[in-house]
Amino acid sequence: MVVAEQIPSAVNKAVTVINQGGVVAFPTETFYGLAVDPFNEKALDHLFRLKNRSPAKPVLTLVADENQLNRLAADIPSFYPALMRQFWPGPLTLLFPALASLPWLLTADTGRVGARISSHPVAQTLVRGCGRPITATSANLAGCPAATSAAEVLYQLPQVDFIIEFDKFVQGTASTIIGSKDGDPEIIRPGVFLTAEILKAL
């Protein structure tokens, strides 16, 4: 288990692994996630093979701040800033119109890319350390429960390149996913935040 004082050192190692095209398991406030460079097609392919994940399913991302959205999103729907002010950092994923230059494995050719700012201190430190968005798909084999501890990650994904073992604050509930349809909010996946909370924020 990494203690708080060891987080910077563990994150430095994780950043090196990500920069080299590897896969890092790390804690978020929802589940453990798997981080690769979302702009590296070989790293994305490695991630999908590791999870045995269908390429028809897109991968969600984390950003360090709203400025990093410029590397992912072609546009920000008009009602998103209100949600970002209310729920970021936190377990609310927003689906943005994706830049055409993004790898197809990241978006699964949906034309949209999911992003959020995590409230977990390790996840925040990792994204800042990378200096760019990272993937944050759940750490599990396709069809299996998402891991809420480093031990669960290792059991399902023993080939993962590096694990930041810090089980605190991992709540085990998925992020809420919101999209935009004809300019109106669309609940893609219920999660931590209830529909009523979303509508109230708007």
Q: What is the mean pLDDT of residues 117-123?
A: 97
Q: What is the pLDDT of residue 144?
A: 97
Average pLDDT on 30-58 reads 97
Q: At what angle do helices 7-19 and 121-130 cross, to 10 degrees?
A: 50
Which pair of tokens denotes residue 99? 């830049």
Question: What pTM does this model have?
Answer: 0.94
Please state, in angstroms and rounded to a whole number, the distance separating the CA atoms of residues 86 and 83: 5
Residue 193: which pLDDT band, with cuts at 50, 70 and 90?
confident
Q: Which of 64-78, 92-106, 111-125, 177-191 has the lowest mean pLDDT?
A: 177-191
**Rounded to whole angstroms, how far apart are CA atoms 115 and 62?**
5
Model pLDDT, residue 4: 60
Q: Residue 104: in which H helix or E strand, if any?
A: helix 104-107
Is-contact 127 133, C-beta < 8 A?
yes
- Could you give the CA distance from residue 68 to residue 177 in angstroms, rounded to a whole number? 19
Residue 120 is encoded by which pair of tokens?
Answer: 């977990």
pLDDT of 121 above 70:
yes
Closest listed residue to residue 161, CA positions, set 180, 139, 193: 139
**The pLDDT of residue 195 is above 90:** no
Task: Measure CA 184 to chain center.
Answer: 24
* CATH superfamily of the 4-201 domain: DHBP synthase (3.90.870.10)
CA distance 31 to 145: 10
CB 57 within 8 A of CB 120: no
- Residue 2 is predicted with a pLDDT of 63
Mean pLDDT of 59-77: 97
pLDDT in tens, 74-109: 999 999 999 999 999 999 999 999 999 999 999 999
